[in-house]
Each structure stands twice: as structure tokens, then as C-alpha cells.
């Protein structure tokens, strides 16, 4: 069935280091992917997205990489800061159908050590 999963439930990094959060997806028909950051007690906050016709997209301190061959998505955060500590979710949007629903992974907790 459809699923989006993350490889590691918790990632601990030193402040200033780069972080890489990975995600595997199973629906090869998905045409849009998105990363969200969720802090405790808050709703998911949009970080960056990428369409399936791209393999890399950069934002401010963040980069998303898409490898459609192995159905893998990653989020890279440069110079990780304490404020980056949160749960990160990847999500995919299956192509087609009269819907815009997103399918979410289970989330990776990022802990930034000072």
C-alpha cells in the first residue's frame, strides 16, 4: 500500500553541524513532495517542496534532494541551530485523482546539542 517512511526516528546533531534527514516513499506515481517542521503544540510549518521533474531544490539553509530511481527524499539543513530542534515530516502527493491529499511519514525528531 501507499506509505512514506523515515529511516531514523531520532537524529541528534551538534550545533553548527549539517543535518540530513532521510525519507523513503513507495508510490512511484507521486508528483510532488514536501517537508514540514513541527514544534511541540504547533501545526506543521512548511519548509520546502519539490516537484517530481526536479532532483534538487535549495532554500535558505535547506536543500531537498529527490532520487526517483530509488524513491528517496532527503532534507539537508546547513549549520544546524538550536531553533531547528523539532519533528520533521516528509509528505508526498500522489498524482491524479480529484484530490490534493498528502501522505505523511511518521516523522524524525531532530535534537540539536549546544
Q: Based on CB atoms, which residue is closest to other proteins, 69 or 101?
A: 101
- Within 10 Å of residue 12's Cβ, how many Cβ atoms? 12
Going from the C-alpha of 50 to that of each of 40, 46, 58, the distances in angstroms are: 25, 12, 9
**Going residue by residue from 32 to 71, which x/- string records binding to other proteins, judged by CB under 8 A?**
x-x-x----xxxxxx--x-x--------------------
What is the spatial distance between Cα 40 and Cα 21, in angstroms, rounded to a whole number? 19
CB 107 within 8 A of CB 40: no
Establish if 94 lies at the interface with other proteins (CB under 8 A).
no
CA angle 63, 3, 39 (to 5 degrees): 50
Residue 25 CB, nearest distance to other proteins (Å)? Answer: 13
Regarding 103 and contact with other proteins (CB under 8 A), the answer is yes
- 97 counts as binding other proteins under rule CB under 8 A: yes
**Interacting residue ranges for other proteins, rule: CB under 8 A:** 4, 31-32, 34, 36, 41-46, 49, 51, 89, 91, 93, 97-107
Amino acid at each position: 500500500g501507499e506509505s512514506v517512511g523515515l529511516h531514523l526516528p531520532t537524529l541528534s546533531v551538534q550545533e553548527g553541524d549539517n543535518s540530513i534527514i532521510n525519507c523513503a516513499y513507495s508510490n512511484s506515481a507521486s508528483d510532488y513532495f514536501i517537508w514540514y517542521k513541527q514544534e511541540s503544540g504547533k501545526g506543521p510549518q512548511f519548509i520546502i517542496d519539490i516537484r517530481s521533474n526536479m532532483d534538487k531544490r535549495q532554500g535558505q539553509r535547506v536543500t531537498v534532494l529527490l532520487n526517483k530511481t530509488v524513491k528517496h527524499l532527503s532534507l539537508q539543513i546547513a549549520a544546524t541551530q538550536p531553533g531547528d530542534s523539532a519533528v520533521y515530516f516528509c509528505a508526498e502527493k500522489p498524482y491524479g485523482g480529484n484530490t490534493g491529499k498528502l501522505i505523511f511519514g511518521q516523522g524524525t525528531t531532530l535534537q540539536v546539542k549546544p
